[in-house]
């Protein structure tokens, strides 16, 4: 239902799925506040004899269920329990309303804008609609106008955000946590907000000099292109970092696309999985009515000795009403059935690839190719999870661990030895030259410190919003203060970026997860695969220590099993920062 409500072409299906999601959500909330069920579980957890006879996974799942019960306020008296249920329902509604609000365009009287830039925006009578930041537009004035209009504060959205943060805090305190962040981080790699704070602070310290250098380079470039107005502003960062990348490394996606046909990329993934894990992907015919759109492909995932492991439905192409987001959905989780058979996982991978011209294959830009590898990392996590319970299958694990397998795949996608196995010009069959791959990889490091600093700023903001309440200042004042302190580019009067921060819904108090997952993926890559990306023994260790457990094992234990040591916050920071260093060999080659 979660998948159908966003991706089905038929509105009636989407609406029915939305309703199903609500009903299931309500039912789960009811179960999480079922006192008899909870007491039964509590008796089990208190019985040492029974507990010691259970396998570690069953014990962990029992503890996770208990955690869900407690989060719903089951241990409270009836009045407080009812309050917890009401808060949960209210939070769900606020999340949906806030999410819708993050995407709604802003309107402005067209006469406010100079005539020569109006055509960049959609006209509606006397008004212009601004539906995004126009971050790639070469005209500084268009980006500035889009930034100030799209991010203009909105009192309704502000009220929703404030009520959402206050409700989350009330619920967390009602069920016994200091803050919502303490509640959200239970069971994660970081474990608590203190560790997250330390991680972000140390990372920010390590990045600060590099970020300053990046901002100086962008300012010089702005001076060159716009000498009248050369102060670097927040709407400049994405544009000028792109200009610098292009100027320094001439990365024209058009030069790369012919080497990355979708067929070649899928072959590359097949070959990589076969060498690393003994797994092959086979296209299967679908039955009538099995898929929601005729361009969806079904892949069977087959192991050389274990046989069929599961199915991946590939919904790769753009179509009207399909959201432009790349994501992975679990349709059916793996679990051990009562009869001893294993229920095979089924997932959907959704991308937004352009439909190919007649007769020509679908060609991917380097970014699309990397996204395909990323999403396939999630799919393999689902396919190779062999947990006893569906509750902890595949990607149903701690948020800050969930992105490790997908980000690790990006490292493979950026390694010449891997790319060289599949990147062939679709017309001539010629391989992608090595220096083109090196240039592409190096170009990604241009302004990468500033890009990472921006992510640190978002993560810090998220931690403050979900930290101690009542908040000392308004969410906008906190934004201004944090932006100037952590990010470094000036806050723009009358804007409220936080009202477009849609990740506050799904990643409340956990926005740091992406950075921490990247740090772990970087360590796994350097230690286990950088020497030989096709190392079968390492592939097997990766499957055994990390992919097989889903959320059935503590995330830090999985990381320890893979790296054979317990990484510190400093190790995480060092891994992220060392990725920013330019590769000397490429540098010389290009010079």
Q: What is the pLDDT of residue 588?
A: 46
Cα(48)–Cα(420) distance, integer angstroms? 56
Beta-carbon contacts of residue 441 (< 8 Å; ≥ 6 apart): 414, 583, 586
What is the pLDDT confidence band of residue 324, given thresholds at 50, 70 and 90? confident
Directed axis angle between helix 237-249 and helix 448-465, to 10°?
160
Whole domain around residue 129: which residue ranges?
Answer: 100-155
Both 374 and 260 in one domain: the answer is yes
Do the beta carbons of residue 356 and residue 363 sit within 8 Å? yes
Full 3-state SS string of 527-560 = HHHCCCCCCHHHHHHHHHHHHCCCCCCCHHHHHH
Task: Over range 45-52, report the average pLDDT.
Answer: 95
Specify the number of domains making up the chain: 3
Asked if residue 16 is part of any domain, the answer here is: yes
Residue-by-residue DSSP string for 17-61: HHHHHHHHHHHHHHHHT-HHHHHHHHHHHH-HHHHHHS-HHHHHH
Tokens coding 288: 């009538």
- What's the half-sphere exposure (Cβ side, CA atoms, 13 Å) at 318? 9
Q: Phi first, then psi: give them for residue 308, nearest 5 degrees.
A: -65, 130
In a domain, 305, yes or no: yes
pLDDT of residue 81: 86
H/E run at residue 207? helix 193-225
Say yes or no to pLDDT of 591 above 50: no
Task: Read off the pLDDT of residues 539-589 as tens digits, 9 standing for 90 and up.
Answer: 999 999 999 999 999 999 999 999 999 999 999 999 999 999 876 554 444
| Residues 256, 115 share a domain | no
Question: Could you give the 3-state DSSP secondary structure of residue 349?
Answer: strand
Indicate the pairing of strand 307-317 with strand 297-303.
Answer: antiparallel
CA angle, 547 as apex, 449 and 408 as ends, to 5°?
Answer: 20
**Do residues 270 and 368 both lie within one domain?**
yes
Q: Please state, in angstroms and rounded to a whole number, the distance separating the CA atoms of residues 291 and 213.
A: 50
Residue where a domain stops, chosen among 427, 444, 477: 427
566 occurs within a structural domain: no
DSSP type of residue 8: -
Is 451 among the domain residues? no
Residue-wise pLDDT for 376-402, tens only, equals 999 999 999 999 999 999 999 999 999
- Confidence class for position 253, pLDDT limits 50, 70, 90: confident
Task: Look up the pTM and report it.
Answer: 0.94
Q: Is 576 helix (H, G, I), strand (E, B) or coil?
A: helix
Q: Is residue 535 part of a domain?
A: no
Query: Rounded to 10 degrees, what is the CA torsion of 450, 455, 458, 464?
Result: -100
> What is the mean predicted confidence (pLDDT) over 223-249?
92
In the chain, the N- to C-terminal Cα span, in Å, equals 53
- Return the SS3 of 16: helix
Cα gap 68→28, rounded to integer Å: 10
Distance CA 222, CA 217 (A): 9
Domain final residue, candidates 427, 457, 490: 427
The mean pLDDT value of the chain amounts to 94
**In this structure, is residue 331 part of a structural domain?**
yes
CA distance 382 to 333: 8
- How many helices (H) does the chain have, and how many strands (E)? 26, 10
Does 426 have pLDDT greater than 60? Answer: yes
The answer on 150 and 285 residing in a single domain is no
Percent of the chain with pLDDT over 70: 98
Is 375 a known active-site residue?
A: yes
Q: How many other C-beta atoms lie within 10 A of the C-beta of residue 287? A: 8
What pLDDT, on a 0 to 100 scale, did the predictor assign at position 589? 46
* Neighbour count for residue 262 (Cβ, 10 Å): 21
If asked whether residues 257 and 313 sit together in one domain, one would say yes
Q: 44 with 132, same domain? A: no
Residue 23, Cα to own-chain centre: how many angstroms? 26
pLDDT of residue 454: 98
Residue 129, domain member (yes or no): yes
Q: What percent of the chain has pLDDT over 90?
A: 86
On whether residue 470 sits in a domain, the answer given is no
| CB-CB contact of 384 with 497 (8 Å) | no
Residues 64 and 108 in one domain: no
Distance CA 524, CA 530 (A): 9
Angle (deg, nearest 10), helices 155-174 and 475-482: 90
- Active-site position among 144, 375, 410, 545: 375
Q: What's the pLDDT score for residue 75?
A: 84
> Is there a single domain that holds both residue 75 and residue 141?
no
Confidence of residue 590 (pLDDT cuts 50, 70, 90): very low
Residue finishing a domain among 400, 427, 454? 427
Statement to judge: residues 272 and 390 lie in one domain? yes
Q: CA-to-CA distance for 577 and 546, rounded, in angstroms? A: 24
Tokens standing for residue 300 = 């069977």
Are 325 and 260 contained in the same domain? yes
């Amino acid at each position: 239902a979660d998948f159908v409500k966003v991706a089905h072409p038929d509105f009636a299906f989407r609406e029915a799925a939305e309703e199903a999601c609500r009903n299931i959500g309500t039912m789960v909330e009811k179960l999480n506040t079922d006192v008899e069920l909870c007491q039964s579980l509590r008796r089990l957890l208190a019985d040492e004899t029974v507990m010691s006879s259970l396998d570690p996974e069953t014990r962990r799942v029992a503890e996770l269920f208990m955690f869900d019960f407690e989060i719903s306020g089951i241990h409270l008296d009836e009045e407080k329990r009812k309050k917890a249920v009401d808060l949960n329902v209210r939070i769900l509604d606020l999340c949906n309303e806030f999410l819708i609000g993050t995407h709604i365009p802003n309107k402005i009287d067209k006469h406010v804008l100079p005539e020569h830039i109006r055509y960049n925006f959609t006209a509606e009578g006397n008004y212009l609609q601004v539906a995004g930041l126009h971050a790639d537009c070469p005209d500084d004035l268009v980006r500035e106008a889009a930034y100030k209009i799209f991010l203009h504060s909105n009192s309704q959205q502000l009220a929703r955000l404030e009520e959402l943060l206050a409700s989350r805090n009330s619920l967390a305190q009602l069920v016994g946590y200091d803050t919502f962040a303490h509640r959200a981080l239970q069971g994660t790699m970081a474990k608590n907000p203190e560790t997250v704070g330390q991680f972000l602070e140390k990372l920010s310290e390590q990045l600060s000099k590099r970020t300053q250098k990046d901002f100086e380079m962008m300012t010089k470039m702005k001076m060159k292109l716009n000498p009248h107005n050369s102060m670097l502003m927040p709407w400049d960062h994405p544009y000028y970092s792109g200009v610098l990348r292009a100027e320094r490394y001439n990365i024209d996606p058009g030069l790369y696309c012919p080497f990355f046909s979708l067929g070649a990329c899928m072959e590359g993934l097949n070959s990589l999985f076969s060498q690393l894990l003994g797994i092959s992907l086979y296209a299967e015919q679908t039955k009538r009515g099995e898929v929601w759109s005729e361009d969806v492909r079904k892949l069977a995932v087959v192991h050389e000795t274990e046989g069929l492991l599961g199915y991946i439905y590939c919904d790769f192409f753009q179509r009207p009403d399909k959201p432009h987001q790349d994501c992975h959905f679990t349709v059916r989780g793996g679990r051990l059935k009562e009869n001893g058979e294993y229920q095979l996982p089924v997932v959907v991978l959704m991308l937004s690839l352009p439909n190919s011209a007649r007769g020509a294959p679908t060609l991917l830009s380097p970014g699309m190719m990397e996204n395909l590898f990323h999403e396939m990392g999630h799919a393999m996590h689902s396919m190779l999870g062999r947990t006893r319970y569906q509750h902890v299958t595949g990607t149903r694990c701690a948020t800050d661990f969930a992105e490790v397998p997908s980000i690790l795949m990006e490292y493979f996608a950026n390694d010449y030895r891997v790319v060289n196995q599949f990147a062939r010009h679709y017309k001539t069959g010629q391989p992608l030259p090595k220096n083109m791959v090196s240039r592409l990889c190096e170009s990604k490091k241009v302004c990468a410190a500033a890009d990472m600093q921006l992510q640190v700023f978002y993560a810090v903001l998220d931690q403050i919003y979900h930290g101690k309440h009542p908040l000392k200042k308004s969410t906008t004042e906190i934004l201004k203060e944090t932006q100037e302190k952590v990010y470094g580019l000036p806050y723009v009067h009358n804007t409220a970026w936080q009202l477009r921060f849609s990740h506050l819904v799904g990643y409340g108090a956990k926005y740091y997860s992406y950075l921490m997952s990247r740090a772990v993926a970087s360590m796994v890559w350097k230690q286990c695969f950088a020497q030989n990306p096709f190392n079968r023994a390492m592939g097997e260790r990766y499957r055994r220590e990390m992919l097989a457990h889903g959320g059935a094992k503590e995330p830090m234990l999985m990381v320890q099993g893979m790296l054979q040591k317990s990484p510190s916050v400093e190790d995480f920071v060092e891994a992220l920062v060392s990725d920013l260093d330019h590769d000397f060999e490429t540098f010389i080659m290009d010079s």
